[in-house]
């Protein structure tokens, strides 16, 4: 009788243990109400021990893929140079780069003097913020204006919230006579798709008796990574020059130009077009009894091709 009683107790204990084990296993295997449906925090080993599971690292969020057919927001190739103002016909950008070299050739017509124009430039970034530039302008009246010099980018918007640059050029009147020294200060800032540029220049011969001042500004808007539209203003004026060599000759008093501009970048190539107005005042027969001023206005039209590498 005692043996049977002990046997019953053993069976009862085994059943209780089995029930507890099943309950614990079920509780571990299923998410608890306080775990918000997350993975179980404990597991049961083959020996029946309950151990905490290693914490799973949170899944890193995958970058959002661009929508099918979406264009890149930032310009590439020659478009980056267009966005930096490097291909503006009349306003000098303070930015050096982003391409190592660029070239531009423009041709057109100026109605105030009823003559054709050719303007070309080539530039190379030789080191860091320093670039060298050579340019050549020609007018159908026979005046050729070569120029050579260097540009330096002093401040960048990325670091100082403003692009600022200076430049110096030597500009001979022609290939035989004395020329002028030109100093320029340029500034610029971009606001997303919109970029603003401004420049000022002072031009003088070595003696200091031929002086010209210049102010320029430009607005450039990125319609797409390849297409840019904008507007340019430029004002040049004689600053009370008193060179004796001017006696009896005709010299410009001021030259004002305003023109919308359009640029399209295709790979390393850039197409530029600009059309607007020009107003020019000239002083004729300087220092003589026949001295008189003449003011004329006309259309300004320029178009050309450039490239950046």
* pLDDT tens profile 140-174: 666 788 899 999 999 999 999 999 999 999 988 65
pLDDT value at position 20? 46
Instruction: List C-alpha distances in Å: 54 to 24, 43, 59, 137, 281.
Output: 19, 10, 15, 75, 84
Ranking 21-30, 36-45, 106-115, 145-154 by mean pLDDT, the lowest is 21-30
Query: Which of the pair, 201 or 144, is modelled with greater confidence?
Result: 201
Catalogue all structural domains in the chain, each as residue range(s) with its CATH number: 78-308 (2.40.160.40)
Picking from 102, 70, 65, the residue whose alpha carbon sits closest to that of residue 263 is: 102
DSSP state letters, 219-275: EEEESSSSEEEEEEEEEEEE-----GGGTTS-EEEEEEEEEEEEEEEETTEEEEEEE
Q: What is the pLDDT of residues 248-265, one digit of tens each?
A: 888 889 999 999 999 999
Cβ contact 278:298 at 8 Å: yes
Per-residue confidence (pLDDT) for residue 23, from 0 to 100: 45
Q: Which residues contact 236 (CB under 8 A, 6 or more apart)?
A: 212, 213, 214, 252, 254, 255, 256
pTM over 0.85: no
Residue with tokens 């109605």: 111
Most confidently modeled range among 38-42, 48-52, 215-219, 245-249: 215-219
Highest mean pLDDT among 69-83, 87-101, 141-155, 172-186: 87-101
Tokens describing residue 271: 């197409």
Average pLDDT score over residue span 69-79: 68
Phi, psi of 232 (to 5 degrees): -125, 145
* pLDDT digit string, tens, across residues 91-145: 999 999 888 999 999 999 999 999 999 999 999 999 999 999 999 998 866 678 8
Compute how many other C-beta atoms are within 10 angstroms of the C-beta atom of residue 301. 17
pLDDT at site 60: 47
């Amino acid at each position: 009788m005692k043996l049977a009683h002990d046997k019953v107790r053993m069976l009862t204990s085994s059943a209780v243990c089995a029930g507890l084990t099943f309950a614990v296993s079920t509780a571990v295997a299923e998410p608890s109400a306080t775990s918000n449906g997350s993975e179980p925090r404990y597991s049961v080993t083959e020996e029946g021990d309950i151990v905490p599971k290693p914490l799973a690292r949170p899944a890193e969020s995958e970058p959002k893929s661009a929508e099918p057919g979406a264009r890149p927001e930032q310009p590439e190739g020659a478009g980056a140079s267009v966005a930096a103002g490097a291909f503006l016909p009349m306003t000098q950008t303070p930015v050096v780069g982003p391409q190592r070299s660029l070239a531009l050739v423009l041709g057109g017509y100026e109605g105030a003097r009823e003559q054709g124009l050719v303007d070309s430039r080539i530039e190379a970034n030789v080191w860091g913020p320093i670039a060298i530039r050579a340019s050549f302008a020609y007018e159908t009246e026979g005046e050729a204006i070569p120029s050579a010099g260097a540009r330096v980018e002093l401040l960048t918007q990325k670091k100082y919230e403003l692009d600022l640059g200076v430049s110096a050029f030597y500009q001979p009147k022609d290939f035989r006579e004395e020329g002028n020294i030109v100093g320029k200060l340029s500034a610029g800032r971009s606001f997303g798709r919109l970029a603003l540029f401004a420049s000022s220049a002072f031009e003088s011969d070595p003696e200091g008796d031929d002086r010209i001042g210049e102010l320029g500004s430009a607005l450039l808007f990125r319609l797409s990574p390849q297409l840019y539209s904008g507007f340019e203003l430029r004002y040049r004026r004689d600053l009370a020059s008193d060179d004796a060599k001017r006696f009896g000759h005709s010299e410009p008093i001021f030259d004002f130009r305003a023109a919308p501009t359009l640029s399209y970048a295709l790979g390393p190539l850039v197409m530029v077009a600009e059309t607007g107005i020009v107003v020019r005042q000239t002083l004729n027969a300087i220092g003589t009894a026949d001295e008189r001023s003449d003011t004329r206005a006309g259309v300004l039209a320029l178009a050309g091709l450039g490239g950046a590498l």
